[in-house]
Amino acid sequence: MATGERYVGGGVLRKEDLTLLTGQGRFVESITLPGLLHLAVVRSPYGAARIRGIELEAARAAAGVVAAFTGADLAEEWAAPLPMAWPVTEDIRIPEHWPVTQDVARYQGDAVAVVVARTRSAALDAAELVEVEYEELPAVTDVEAALADGAPKVHASLEDNSCYTWTLANGDVEAAFAKADVVVTQRYTQPRLIPNAMEPRAVVVQPLPAAGDFTMWSTTQIPHIAKVLFALTLGIPESKLRVIAPDVGGGFGSKLNIYAEEALCLALARRLGRPVKWVAGRSEGYVATTHGRDQIQHVELAATSDGKILGYRFKLLANMGAYLQLITPGTPLLGGFLFCGSYGGEAYHFECTGVFTNTTPTDAYRGAGRPEATYAIERAMDALAREVGVDPVEIRRRNFLPKGEMVPSPGGLAFDTTDFEMNLDRALERLDYEGLRAEQRARRERGDGKLLGVGFSTYVEMCGIAPSQALGSLNYGAGGWDAAMVRMLPTGKAEVVTGSSPHGQGHVTSWSQIAADALGVAFEDVTVLHGDTHVAPLGMNTYGSRSLAVGGVAVSLACGRVVDKAKTLAGHLLEVSPDDLEFERGTFSVKGVPDRKKTIQELAFAAWTAHSLPEGAEPGLEASCVYDPPNFTFPFGTHVCVVEIDPETGAVEIVRYLAVDDCGNVINPQIVDGQVHGGVAQGIAAALWEEAVYAPDGTLETSSMLNYLVPSAAELPSFELDRTVTPSNTNPLGVKGIGEAGTIAAAPAVINAVIDALSPLGITDIPMPATPERVWRAIRDAEGGAA
């Protein structure tokens, strides 16, 4: 890192807060334009239905309505179907996915018609007047049912409901299982989750008909990717489309997509020649915004009698939903390399089958594949510990991969830097593990009412996506680089243009810290521009905990190039060789003659006036960097959950939650801690409360915030955090990424704690979410069985 660090590592408060705390946040819903029209979408109430007819006349005649269209009316607007960018196998089945369906509605929420009106309320009122004649069809929502013989087909054009089967094999797994003393076999389920970013999705498109230009403001995590893909979907020249992601109110993967409503606003703005806006109602978003998870996992571990793992075998069924959104098929595979977690072994076999059902499409949700993988292996480790009769901590120690660099994992990855045991030890020091176990034994002997349980999750995850070449080998449809431009303005201020597009992560602050230290300027003197494809033309955006490890590194490297250029200019102006200059805190001085110096601000002005430049130098003091990392990064850590369960009610109370994460070097400790807090909260919520439930006919029963429990402050505990620092060797900042680690780690720690508490009753499984009812029933059944 740069010498003379003043800001990296802490001590600054977020720049983003100034507007967000005063009501001056610029969210898409607040954008209004002269002549603005509002879009409302008519959606199928059925999980599966043939559309027999659509009557739009009443809607068209309603007050304020400008136009109404069916899918057929809009068919000519599309140059291509909505894109899916990750065809994971050669023989994957990719059903056509149009913004408005024409023949069949394949999930509750599938768009069947649209209304455009002068006000939002007029559009919503008129949408109610659209009469659609449906013929309800048999639906299927469960992955196992969808693969059964005779299951209703989601897409009549396909042979069955399977989408693809992807496999990964390393070593001789049959041999590993053949020589094993112990085989642990488990079946786990990953409930379907609804991401619930607090800002509902919204989009505004402003056309400039005479020029053929379009500006789209969208609640998106991926303005740059969106620009490319909407140009292709709409047949708009890419140069005519500007995408702006202003303040975005959380995403968690649910805004990492190419959505029908964005395409519709573009198409309708083009067709009508007026700006068009759509804002999702929260409950509308429950069916129209991608869901996450929804897998069935078959897990087998082959081990020696003392619990040393020899081989791993995993078989997944992953629910795709009714269509493939941007990275639907690849999302479960992001965990496909990590089902062996932080542990060793000789052989690994992973197979995942994607399955179509009559449900909202799934796609990335915080962690995207890695929470599922971590859950499977961390729960299976506890099962193995029980099987061979050792403590959950001991089973982990016996199987940890060694401390090191580029450590090969049975899943085929090379972990950048590892030190799992050191991290676990730090957690145990803070925990007083022996004391907790003694308390547990004492309570059990006394027959105390509340059941005490301790659960561990010693996770490793994979982020910093990624070397473009590696993504290419997985058939991923984009690169893994990111871009930065850094310029010193004539008045001595610094401007950083980043291709990362934040939505709560505090990039403006962290990037300012990096640039301020690298350039030797004040934190306050750095401005960070982002989220507008006209301002930051290059970017690969924010997802997969990649921003700092890729986009942040690009900023750092671009700053280094600015400093190099400034150094040459300083040497020229001071009439010394640049090699004779020292650079510290923004000042170049001649070695041994500290009075002979130029500040970077002086050099910025000199570069702008360009009155005297070195031979061949161009005016201006700026540099760019497009950084493509050589490897992923692999954050790791130990999460420990301590629960008390009331056997009378089944209620699980988290009495301690300790997270000791290692994300390499830390730019802003406060932001890192915040990411862990929020991530852990979502993992706990998945473990204990959240589950999207479909009725067999395809009706989403958890259809709003009233019946899908997004936890409040009253449900969640405070968290204890600590960290260890094992710098990554992937990038020069030594950073790894922390956006998803909490969510990846938390759910198995919680469920392992619940099982630990209930284990004296012989209970070895509670499916997520471990609701009071589920826990109470398990206790009742166990006690009944014992009686």
Partner 1 sequence: MARISVTVNGVAHDTDVDPRTLLVHFIREQVGLTGTNVGCDTSSCGACTVLMDGQSVKACTVLAVQADGHEVTTVEGLAKNGEWHPVQQAFHEHHGLQCGFCTPGMMMAAVGFLEENPAPSEAEVRLALEGNLCRCTGYHNIVVSVLAAAETMRAAGGRARAGG
Nearer to partner 1, 99 or 506 (CB): 506
Nearer to partner 1, 83 or 223 (CB): 223
Which tokens hold the place of 90? 């050669």
197 binds partner 1 (CB under 8 A): yes
Gap between the Cα atoms of 158 and 155, Å rounded: 6
Beta bridge partners of 491: none
Which of 186, 475, 624, 670 is the binder for partner 1 (CB under 8 A)?
670
Nearer to partner 1, 187 or 282 (CB): 282
Strand 494-498 and strand 720-723: the pairing is unpaired
**SS3 state at 244:** strand
34 binds partner 1 (CB under 8 A): no
406 binds partner 1 (CB under 8 A): no
Q: How far is the CB of 672 from partner 1 (least distance, A)?
A: 10
**SS3 state at 492:** coil
Which of 505, 599, 601, 724 is the binder for partner 1 (CB under 8 A)?
505
Q: How far is the CB of 11 from partner 1 (least distance, A)?
A: 12
Q: How far is the CB of 688 from partner 1 (least distance, A)?
A: 13
Can you say whether residue 557 is alpha, beta or left, with left for phi > 0 and alpha for psi between -120 and 50 degrees?
alpha
Nearer to partner 1, 386 or 677 (CB): 677
How many residues bind to partner 1 according to rule CB under 8 A? Answer: 53
644 binds partner 1 (CB under 8 A): no
Q: How far is the CB of 27 from partner 1 (least distance, A)?
A: 7
Gap between the Cα atoms of 177 and 311, Å rounded: 6
Burial of 688 (0-12, 13-18, 19+ CB in 10 A): buried
118 binds partner 1 (CB under 8 A): no
201 binds partner 1 (CB under 8 A): no
Q: How far is the CB of 316 from partner 1 (least distance, A)?
A: 27
- Cα 660 to the center of its chain, rounded Å: 21
673 binds partner 1 (CB under 8 A): yes
Which tokens hold the place of 497? 């243009």
Which of 11, 13, 187, 535 is the binder for partner 1 (CB under 8 A)?
13
Give the burial string for 696-723 (b: 16+ CB within 10 Å, else e). ebbbbebbeeeebbeeeeeebbebebeb
Which strands, in side-by-side order, build the sheet including 652-662? 451-457, 636-645, 652-662, 720-723
Q: What are the Cα distances from residue 509, in Å, to 7, 90, 135, 251, 496?
A: 10, 43, 54, 19, 11
Binding string, residues 278-307; x marks residues near partner 1 by CB under 8 A: ---xxx------------------------
211 phi and psi angles, rounded to 5 deg: -95, -15
25 binds partner 1 (CB under 8 A): yes
Q: How far is the CB of 252 from partner 1 (least distance, A)?
A: 7
Gap between the Cα atoms of 633 and 160, Å rounded: 38
Count of H-run helices and E-run strands, the chain? 20, 28
469 binds partner 1 (CB under 8 A): no
Residues 209/200/657/333 CA torsion (nearest 10 deg): -60
Nearer to partner 1, 527 or 703 (CB): 703
Considering only the stretches 12-20, 236-244, 413-421, 536-544, report the one whose residues sit in contact with partner 1 under the rule CB under 8 A: 12-20
Can you say whether residue 737 is alpha, beta or left, with left for phi > 0 and alpha for psi between -120 and 50 degrees?
left
Which tokens hold the place of 630? 């050589």
Q: How far is the CB of 104 from partner 1 (least distance, A)?
A: 28
530 binds partner 1 (CB under 8 A): no
Which of 137, 371, 719, 754 is the binder for partner 1 (CB under 8 A)?
719
Which of 90, 91, 198, 786 is the binder for partner 1 (CB under 8 A)?
198
Which of 10, 11, 30, 577 is the binder for partner 1 (CB under 8 A)?
30
Q: Which of 122, 112, 431, 427 is nearest to 287 (CA)?
A: 112
Residue 36, Cβ neighbours under 10 Å: how many?
Answer: 16
Nearer to partner 1, 406 or 705 (CB): 705
Q: How far is the CB of 281 from partner 1 (least distance, A)?
A: 5
678 binds partner 1 (CB under 8 A): yes
Instruction: Please enumerate in sequence order all residues whose Cβ is within 8 A of that of 560, keeping only pairs 6 or more positions apart, or say none.
Output: 2, 518
23 binds partner 1 (CB under 8 A): yes
Which tokens hold the place of 255? 């805004």
Considering only the stretches 163-171, 490-498, 636-644, 675-683, report the one whose residues sit in contact with partner 1 under the rule CB under 8 A: 675-683
523 binds partner 1 (CB under 8 A): no
- Cα 722 to the center of its chain, rounded Å: 23
Which of 714, 785, 786, 787 is the binder for partner 1 (CB under 8 A)?
714
Nearer to partner 1, 122 or 557 (CB): 122
Q: How far is the CB of 512 from partner 1 (least distance, A)?
A: 15
248 binds partner 1 (CB under 8 A): yes
777 phi and psi angles, rounded to 5 deg: -65, -40
Q: Evaluate whether 355 touches 282 at the Cβ level (below 8 Å).
A: no
Which of 679, 698, 727, 769 is the binder for partner 1 (CB under 8 A)?
679
Considering only the stretches 409-417, 597-605, 692-700, 710-718, report the one whose residues sit in contact with partner 1 under the rule CB under 8 A: 710-718
204 binds partner 1 (CB under 8 A): no
Q: How far is the CB of 248 from partner 1 (least distance, A)?
A: 7
739 binds partner 1 (CB under 8 A): no
Q: Which helix (H) or strand (E) holds 573?
A: helix 553-574
Burial of 397 (0-12, 13-18, 19+ CB in 10 A): middle
Gap between the Cα atoms of 306 and 782, Å rounded: 29
Considering only the stretches 41-49, 402-410, 504-512, 548-556, report the one whose residues sit in contact with partner 1 under the rule CB under 8 A: 504-512
Nearer to partner 1, 249 or 341 (CB): 249
Which of 3, 4, 11, 24 is the binder for partner 1 (CB under 8 A)?
24
SS (H, E, C) 445-477: HHCCCCEEEEEEECCECCECCCCHHHHHHCCCC
Which of 3, 305, 491, 718 is the binder for partner 1 (CB under 8 A)?
718
157 binds partner 1 (CB under 8 A): no
Binding site for partner 1 (CB under 8 A): 13-14, 16-17, 19-25, 27, 29-30, 196-200, 247-250, 252, 281-283, 503-506, 670-671, 673-674, 677-682, 704-706, 710, 712-716, 718-719, 742
